Amino acid sequence: MPNLMTHINVAIETMAAIDDPYIASNKGSFILGSVSPDIRAITKWPRRYTHFVPLSVKKIGSGTETMFRKHPKLIHGLSANAPTKAFLAGYISHLTLDETWITQVYQPYLGDINSFSTPVQATIADRVIQLDIDRIARTYLNDKGNLLKCLENSEYNVKIEFLPSKLLTEWRTWVGTYIQQPFSWERLHFLVRRSHNQDETAKTQVELFLKTLDVNLSRVYARLPSNCIGLFSQESIAQATRLIRHYLY
């Protein structure tokens, strides 16, 4: 799935599209929400607990629909709690971006494992494009000091029944540390290892890929239509804006 900096960058663009002064005045809560489905990085919860759909999802918006069906109390009292509304809007942005990636990029162009020489190579292709998009997102989010300041106390007054307040504080601290880390292609090792920790050749395959990164990255991008990534981002913003307006207004 897209990395945290990509989620933040697209979420900020989505916030501009929503054009709600109450959400804008709680930008920190919105940004925190936009990364919080990945809180499982510290809790080790099953993915479906925070994303509400399997990786085989076919319809954009399924996770948001399931979240509100399982937790209908989330919608109650939002007008009186702007931080929670902003957080939920960001959360919807994250779910939508993941589902757009799965249905618009991964499934049609990278999901056929048999079209790769090995299953590891299939995973490398998916993760390396995600990393490249994350690298680009970081160039737009170069004022890390302002971003960190925005996140200060961003969990305050956010009430989400399946995310305890103390856990959100711990997560916000973790996200702050992550944001300050420099980009590195070496992260590809970690991303691939999570899916192939029993494959002894995975490390070598990643090393060989990174050895001639430019050539190999170009070959992966050749699998996608030239405008695929741009359309993916635009579609995610449009769908997130639609879902946020539908559920929170």
Residue 93 has pLDDT above 90, yes or no: yes
Mean pLDDT of 130-155: 93
Please state, as a whole number, how many other Cβ atoms lie within 10 Å of the Cβ of residue 65.
16
Find the distance separating the first CA and the last CA of the chain, reported in whole Å. Answer: 28
CA dihedral over 151, 163, 33, 57, signed as positive or negative = positive
What is residue 144's predicted lDDT score, i.e. its pLDDT? 80
What is residue 33's predicted lDDT score, i.e. its pLDDT? 98
Rounded (5°) CA angle 161-164-167? 150
Question: Tens digit of pLDDT for each residue in 105-139?
Answer: 999 999 999 999 999 999 999 999 999 999 999 99
What is residue 75's predicted lDDT score, i.e. its pLDDT? 83
Average pLDDT, the chain: 95
Residue 95 has pLDDT above 80, yes or no: yes
pLDDT category at 184 given cuts 50, 70, 90 is very high
Pick the range with the lowest mean pLDDT from 6-10, 21-25, 185-189.
21-25
What is residue 46's predicted lDDT score, i.e. its pLDDT? 96
pLDDT category at 200 given cuts 50, 70, 90 is very high
What is residue 77's predicted lDDT score, i.e. its pLDDT? 63
Residue 78 has pLDDT above 90, yes or no: no
Any alpha helices (H) in the chain, and if so which ranges?
Answer: 4-18, 21-24, 27-35, 40-43, 47-51, 62-70, 82-101, 119-140, 144-151, 165-180, 187-193, 202-211, 213-221, 228-248
What is residue 63's predicted lDDT score, i.e. its pLDDT? 98
pLDDT category at 79 given cuts 50, 70, 90 is low
Taking the C-alpha atoms of residue 131 and residue 186, their distance in angstroms, rounded to an integer, is 10
Residue 61 has pLDDT above 70, yes or no: yes
Give the SS3 label for residue 42.
helix
Domain residue ranges of the chain, discontinuous segments joined by +: 4-248
Question: Tens digit of pLDDT for each residue in 26-59?
Answer: 999 999 999 999 999 999 999 999 999 999 999 9
Q: Which amino acid is at 233?
A: S
Token digits for 226? 């030239």
Mean pLDDT of 141-159: 92
Which of 187, 181, 173 has the alpha carbon at shortest distance from 42?
A: 173
CA distances from 81 to 109, 150, 243 (A): 41, 18, 19
- Tokens 């989010």 belong to 141
pLDDT category at 145 given cuts 50, 70, 90 is confident
